[in-house]
A and B are shown apart, each in its own frame.
Chain A
């Protein structure tokens, strides 16, 4: 045990490990906040779709070789797609879920194609793997990326707290909210934009294929045990922070990929919470 602790202290002396921990925790917190809303509004698939869009956007950024502007560019493309998806969701010609499937699969294909046509390094499959599963990118964050992540997380958390009551109203009953004068369309749009921001932030932690896990698992786990919106939201946030801390530390100590370790920890927590929930209901 003391050996493990020593190893931990040793690793924590590296700035890149500390950076990874800070960004990982912030990203997980943001992702979990809107998870409850997304799960309840049956919007979880939009998060999934957008994460594939972010993969495509990352490929474009890599091809354009704009390393300094990579994150802003990805952010812009993903936000744009979030708005598009929400708009087409209201359109009756192409149904919402079909539109999401179309855009997400399309973005995956275009992204992979671009990466192959304009290879930026000799190890394409390694690049693809790391964008999809985020194997090492959290450990190679630059200081600018860390600061950007902190600022964006702060904005997301602040927005969420200020809009908490509106988000609850729009989630629970959109028609009632609109009838009593809440511009539900505008709030839906804002939720989609925030989700896009969260997804781009989370790409560094878990890679684009595993982002949905960060959004959905804490909310689903919390919903097993808690019975008010506030307690579910708080519990999801706490769970998410604990899971990502644990996941990152385990991955550093056991030398496993960060993203999948975090997700596995979340799966384990979900299983435990489901069990407790089932026992409680007895």
Chain B
């Protein structure tokens, strides 16, 4: 049984399907990049996997003991967060809330887990800083640490490098690769950046007018992949 399998998914809002009959599987250790044009349904797919938006048809199944609420999630930043008065520690710790259940307060083990995640993301020294005072790259590390608190197996990233400068973008990709290789956490990432997707990902899911699912090497050989990589690797 795969870690995550989507079977014959129809995606969309209010009965309007934007994507039909989508099936793919993600196995432990995979690094899947979801690429596609704006409005092709990438974010909707991610919300469906997380159980935030019900699919119009088909099913999302989790295997290997993974429950749907044990998926780490790095959402795109919202307006509310930009001037939110919260310390880095408070935000990272809130990643442990799935473990809380009906308990009102965090345990020592939760706090230690948050500290480990901050150490892994190299933000332990910022633990008491205010989130709104951080740079864009630092804020993404905080949200990544929070996602790590929520999961041991699978992490979902929604355009994690949008708005970051090239140097910070490269650092972010390295960080994600480390999470995947060294901590053995499966990664699913939405991205606009085809070049990086081909460089780092093991599998590619291209959705839009044509749908492709396969390994990165297969994608390079496919019609859609060749078209995109020939035109300087920028998917728009």
Contacts and interface: CB of A to CB of B under 8 A. Distances in A.
Is B one of A's binding partners?
A: yes
A162 B102 CA distance: 10
Contacts of A176: 73, 75, 94-95, 146, 150
A contacts with B: majority SS: helix
| Candidate in A36, A42, A161, A229 with the most chain B CB atoms within 10 angstroms | A229
Interface string B1-34: 0000000000000000000000000000000000
Interface stretch (A80-88, A179-187, A191-199): A179-187
Interface string A89-105: 00000000000000000
A92 to B, nearest CB: 8
B236 to A, nearest CB: 26
A155 interface: no
B90 interface: yes
B104 A228 contact: no
A40 B84 contact: yes
A168 B95 CA distance: 11
Contact of B106 (A165, A182, A223): A165
Given A165-B106, A223-B85, A182 B90 contact: no
A248 interface: no
A172 B91 contact: yes
Contacts of B133: 227
B94 A168 contact: yes
B148 to A, nearest CB: 12
A75 B133 CA distance: 41
B contacts with A: majority SS: helix
B75 A175 contact: yes
B97 interface: yes
A187 to B, nearest CB: 11
Given A229-B85, A229-B86, A42 B73 contact: no
A228 B100 CA distance: 21
A178 B98 CA distance: 9
A179 B50 contact: yes
Interface string A13-47: 00000000000000000000000100011100000
B69 A181 contact: yes
Contact of B85 (A164, A166, A232): A232
B109 interface: no
B12 to A, nearest CB: 15
A179 B87 contact: no
B60 to A, nearest CB: 13
Contacts of B106: 165
A153 B43 CA distance: 42
Interface in B42-99: 47, 50-52, 68-71, 73, 75, 78, 80-81, 84-87, 89-91, 94-95, 97-98
B130 A173 contact: no
Contact of A179 (B73, B84, B105, B132): B73
Interface string A140-176: 0000000000000000000001111110110111011
27 contacts: A36-B85, A40-B84, A42-B80, A161-B104, A163-B104, A164-B104, A165-B100, A166-B97, A166-B100, A166-B104, A168-B94, A172-B80, A175-B52, A178-B51, A179-B51, A179-B73, A180-B69, A180-B70, A180-B71, A180-B150, A181-B69, A181-B98, A182-B98, A223-B85, A226-B85, A227-B129, A232-B85
Interface of B: 47, 50-52, 68-71, 73, 75, 78, 80-81, 84-87, 89-91, 94-95, 97-98, 100, 104-106, 128-130, 132-133, 146, 150
The 7 closest A-B pairs by CB, nearest first: A181-B69, A227-B130, A180-B98, A228-B87, A179-B50, A229-B86, A162-B104
